[in-house]
Amino acid sequence: MVKPLIAANWKMYKTVNEALQYLSAFKPLVQSATDVDIALCPPFTALAHVGHELQESNIRMGAQNMFYEREGAFTGEISPMMLRELGCVYVILGHSERRRYFMEPGMMINKKLKMALRAGLHPILCVGESEFERTEQETENVINTQLTDALEGIPSEEVAGLTIAYEPVWAIGTGKTATPEMAQDVHLFIRSFIAQKYGKSSAKELRIIYGGSVNADNIKQLMSKPDINGALVGNAGLDPQSFAKIVRFKE
């Protein structure tokens, strides 16, 4: 049975002080939650402080991005080794905002994914279609291409240990949410893709989470679906009380 992952992507929000205030409120609310994996993904500037505060807690930390080299003359970038030293367990790769605003192609995401795995980080690989692509019934073609490009050259046993986040672009930060049935359909497609390319065992072990205006009101319905194994939460993850309710969706 795949253990659910509930992760908050803070994006470009929260100063160090704001992050520490969040933790002081959030940690007590989820300290007894042992049936899910919990992750917070702060901006780079807060990683060191958040990582220190999360030591010996049941909450893990992730980064929102990384570069595909261990070190070098890459101004403005951060390496997986730096992230590991700060206490990161997870790293988000291929988020639609990285693809859209920073023009990250599939080849680059593939290089980042391979480096993250070599460095011992757990990648959260994001895939998803735009509203136009869904309207044109291109969802499966888009997901197929994104997965094919990102997973090129990665062996089955490593694919099995990934987390894939399905985030329909049209539902990120818009208040629109794919219905549980719509999300389940795409999650099933992703699992079937992995089964076909990497084997049924890899597909069974793979954790597929949903992102796209997830909140405390819709998390239970989403998590009731057989192929939805967690959530990557945006806006609702910025408030400690709200995110705690999502983490404790079973209660």
pLDDT for the residue numbered 90 = 98
Owning domain of residue 206: 139-223
Active site residue 122: no
pLDDT of residue 228 exceeding 90, the answer is: yes
DSSP-derived secondary structure for 107-167: HHHHHHHHHHHHTT-EEEEEE---HHHHHTT-HHHHHHHHHHHHTTT--HHHHHT-EEEE-
Residue 218 counted as domain residue: yes
Residue 84 counted as domain residue: no
pLDDT of residue 92 exceeding 80, the answer is: yes
Residue 156 counted as domain residue: yes
Residue 160 counted as domain residue: yes
Tokens of 182: 């719509």
Structure confidence at residue 174 as a pLDDT band (50, 70, 90): confident
Residue 16 counted as domain residue: yes
pLDDT for the residue numbered 176 = 74
Residue 182 counted as domain residue: yes
Tens digits of residue pLDDT in 24-70: 999 999 999 999 999 999 999 999 999 999 999 999 999 999 999 99
Write down the pTM of the prediction. Answer: 0.96
pLDDT for the residue numbered 178 = 82
Name the active-site residue from 97, 104, 133, 167.
Answer: 167
Residue 199 counted as domain residue: yes
Q: Which of 64, 86, 108 is the last residue of a domain?
A: 64
Name the active-site residue from 95, 97, 122, 187.
Answer: 95
Q: Which of 12, 41, 64 is the last residue of a domain?
A: 64
Residue 36 counted as domain residue: yes
Q: Which of 23, 43, 64 is the last residue of a domain?
A: 64
pLDDT of residue 173 exceeding 80, the answer is: no
Q: Considering its fold, how many domains does the chain have in total?
A: 2
Q: CB of 116 within 8 A of CB of 89?
A: no
Give kind and range of the element (H or E) at residue 6. Answer: strand 5-9
Active site residue 167: yes
pLDDT for the residue numbered 248 = 97
How high does pLDDT run on average in the chain?
A: 96
Chain-centroid distance of CA 229 in Å reads: 11
